Amino acid sequence: MTERSPAQPPRIPEPGEFRTRADDRRHLDDAVQTAMRPLVRRSRKAGWVTPLTYNVTISHSHRFVWYRVAKVATRTIRHHFLTNGVRLDVNHAMRVRYPWASFEDYYTFAFVRDPLERFVSAWRDKVVADNYYDFDDATLQRMQSVEEFARWVADQDLADLPSTDQHIALQSRLIDLNRVDFVGRLEDFDAGFAEVCSRIGTVAAPATPRNQTAPRGQRSDVSDEVRDLVRRMYQRDYQIFGY
């Protein structure tokens, strides 16, 4: 019987090939997308690329991968990098798979937040202030109640990133927990971000989160129903991040 040789992977793109389009910071450049397609197709068993997709920002000059968690100081972090000379080669890419071995020596980090505070912030920002979910008029009126919004969210699979909006998805789903070097907390943002800046070699400065929908450290005054629903919906986040 002829012994089969192990499957050889298609060409694995080098880290420096990963960049977003010049005219679209949310999507990878066409060349790297083309290079990744055969790798993704053949990688389910071989594990050449991450099995799940992530929203990532990557800098080759400072050698980091940032797993962006929506509603957790993302504008603050991005603004700090852009105003302090940190080039973002992969700027604001959405739902990206990447060859994890190519980025083994990159520093990886993310920031998380109390799940209840994040949930209420998403409701205030994406429902009360802006009809982000494109509800019809009657539904939008109902969703002005955070209880109604919580019931609507409770019917969704918050771990299914392709079908669930990033602002309400599980934080633990938005981070590659097997490969992240540092997970900071919004509640201690300045200290955590200073550590990140020190590790990647850029200036650190106290940074007040931008686009806040409630003062930092202020607990949301919501009903027991909302607290119970959020506790159930985000149980995995509570367990993993210790909230």
Please indicate, yes or no, if residue 231 is contained in any of the structural domains.
yes
Report d(CA 80, CA 107) in Å as an integer. Answer: 17
Answer whether residue 6 is part of any domain.
Answer: no
User: What number is the average pLDDT over the span 21-41?
Assistant: 92
Task: Characterise 125 by phi-psi region: left (phi > 0), alpha (psi -120 to 50), beta (else).
Answer: alpha
Measured CA to CA, the distance from residue 91 to residue 66 in angstroms comes to: 10
Residue 34 covered by a domain: yes
Phi-psi region of 6 (alpha: psi -120 to 50; beta: other; left: phi over 0): beta
Residue 9 lies in a domain: no
pLDDT at site 216: 47
- Could you tell me the two tokens for 109? 């980090």
Could you please report the per-residue DSSP string of 103-124?
A: GTTSEEEEEE--HHHHHHHHHI
Coil/strand/helix, residue 183: strand
- The token pair that represents 54 in the structure block: 């992530």
* Average pLDDT of the residues in 5-27: 86
Indicate the number of domains in the chain.
Answer: 1
pLDDT of residue 84: 94
Q: Considering the domain boundaries, does residue 8 fall inside one?
A: no
Domain of 22 in residue numbering reads as: 15-241
Q: Is 123 within 8 Å of 79 (Cβ atoms)?
A: no
Which tokens hold the place of 239?
A: 């367990």
pLDDT one-digit tens code per residue, 201-224: 998 875 555 555 444 444 568 999
7 pLDDT band (50/70/90 cuts)?
Answer: low
In a domain, 4, yes or no: no
Question: In which residue are the tokens 């949301």 written?
Answer: 220
Q: How many helices (H) and strands (E) does the chain have?
A: 9, 7
